[in-house]
Amino acid sequence: MDELDELVRLDDSWGRGDLTMGEVNAKLSDAATQLQTLVGRTGAGADFTGWIDLPVNTPDRVLQDIDTIAASLRSNSEVVVVCGIGGSYLGARAGLEFLGSQPASTGHGTNPEVAFAGTSLSASQLLELMAKLTDRRFSVVVISKSGTTLETAVTFHVLRDELIRRFGKAVARSRIVAITDANHGVLRKLANDEGFAVLDLPGDVGGRYSVLTAVGLLPFAIRGFDIRMILRGAAEQRASSLTAPAELNGALRYAALRRLLNSRGKSVELFASFEPAFHYVGEWWKQLFGESEGKDGKGLFPASADYTTDLHSLGQFVQEGTRCLFETVIDAMASADMTFTSASNSPDGLGYLNGRTLSQMNRDTKAGTILAHRDGGVPVLQLLIPDFTERSFGALVYFMEVACAVGGYLLGINPFDQPGVEAYKRNMFALLGKPGTEADAAAIRSRLRAEN
């Protein structure tokens, strides 16, 4: 494809396989129609499409509140613990890993470390964090729309008790920030009663689409990243993704090709990169697409891999295993670099690499891998972003959100709900003895006894 006038660029030259141009163009036309459904708020789940306008409609007063709270946390904390799970965690972690990957990153230096908690019910994990916080000044940002998500609620309870023990109740209040529903929920009531600083979660934005709200912007600001530039990058990508003609629209093309490859028997999409900075982008991407698409017996299974590391574990399967997958390989066109130096007669045999940069080696490895996988019957889509800056991160988030939403509509499902997530929660709360679940608990325990 020709280079597009957009921050995130799709190269599908190795991904079309035996798809005909007629098929691609027909699906692109469908995608353009579904984009209008999305923008017009006429599709399923339209009440949760507030993310569409976040890059251009976030009030300056919200950004100023985030700046003020971030400055306060930076001044009194060595560690800020972000307590959340799923959409209340993955986007923020993805951004921090992505933006902090370059040596010149503004997120290094004297700004507090951002740690994450509330992502499991593991006692070992929480005890390790508590040991890490010993004798270190810390604060807590708790993120939950309802305040009842079990992993987050349990962890926050423990961390709040520790803050009170260490600093006293009055000072502990000043070290807690809640990001929650503006009007309802257990966490909102607690914050109001206790006087915590509060930032609102928009009611029309679901968790996995919330990276560009305070959920992501506050952790980014704490580390010193430019949140306005993140929104600017998202706004630039928004202009491309919502207005570019279908044939030049990378987000629509990505959505269309995913559906076509799925219809040709590909049931797994492997999100791969050759830069560790993309690891948590992949984790966020898995939630975004997995939770949005996986319903009604439909959807691609989203998996991720870190190359070249995983070429030494998954590489054999990708090359010659069941032909159930295609790859989406993401890369940045500019990143930190270093030159390799070795004598021509070096005993390790690496003299032939003398004078080459590691980025050149990495790119050649990527090209060779893509060629081998394509020859092995694995279609490969490539996504290219300019660099590891705030602008590029904002653009990447918006690109993926549009592609996911349009792809969900192409699949004939609601890409903004997650009814299946409640199934395990019903069983979990019943087994834990939550009031009101006694009948369910008895039935579940009876089934467990019978099946064991």
**Average pLDDT of adjacent 10-residue blocks, the chain of 452 residues:** 66 90 96 98 97 97 97 96 94 96 69 94 96 96 92 95 95 96 93 95 96 98 96 97 95 98 97 97 98 96 97 96 97 87 81 86 94 96 96 98 98 92 71 73 76 74
In a domain, 173, yes or no: yes
Based on the residue annotation, tell me whether 425 is a catalytic residue of this protein.
yes
Query: Looking at 228, 251, 271, which one is the last position of a domain?
Result: 228
The length of the chain in residues reads 452
CA-nearest of 199, 185, 188 to 65 is: 199
Q: Which two tokens stand for residue 190?
A: 């607690």
List beta partners, residue 79.
113, 138
**Same domain assignment for residues 177 and 202:** yes
pLDDT of residue 354: 87
Neighbours of 418 (CB within 10 A): 19
In a domain, 442, yes or no: no
**Same domain assignment for residues 302 and 154:** no
Domain harbouring 336, CATH code? 3.40.50.10490
In a domain, 452, yes or no: no
Query: Looking at 228, 262, 282, which one is the last position of a domain?
Result: 228
Based on the residue annotation, tell me whether 184 is a catalytic residue of this protein.
no
- Dihedral of CA 189/195/198/200: which sign? positive
**Same domain assignment for residues 210 and 281:** no
**Same domain assignment for residues 285 and 158:** no
CA-to-CA dists, residue 397 to 82, 230, 416, angstroms: 20, 9, 16
**Same domain assignment for residues 374 and 349:** yes
Marked catalytic residue, from 236, 269, 275, 291: 291
**Same domain assignment for residues 97 and 246:** no
Query: Looking at 181, 203, 228, which one is the last position of a domain?
Result: 228
Contact 374, 364 (CB under 8 A): no
pLDDT of residue 443: 76
**Same domain assignment for residues 247 and 292:** yes
In a domain, 297, yes or no: yes
Q: What residues contact 417, with CB distance under 8 A and at least 6 apart?
A: 45, 48, 295
**Number of domains within the chain:** 2
**Same domain assignment for residues 72 and 221:** yes
**Same domain assignment for residues 223 and 320:** no
pLDDT of residue 435: 80
**Same domain assignment for residues 203 and 277:** no
Q: Which two tokens stand for residue 13?
A: 């030259």
Q: Which two tokens stand for residue 103?
A: 């040596």
pLDDT of residue 298: 96
Based on the residue annotation, tell me whether 162 is a catalytic residue of this protein.
no
**Same domain assignment for residues 62 and 192:** yes
Q: Which domain holds residue 401?
A: 9-44+231-411
In a domain, 144, yes or no: yes
CA-to-CA dists, residue 413 to 89, 409, 417, angstroms: 25, 6, 9
In a domain, 120, yes or no: yes
In a domain, 362, yes or no: yes
CA-nearest of 412, 298, 290, 399 to 45 is: 412
pLDDT of residue 262: 97
Marked catalytic residue, from 108, 189, 298, 425: 425
pLDDT of residue 195: 93
In a domain, 437, yes or no: no
**Same domain assignment for residues 172 and 213:** yes
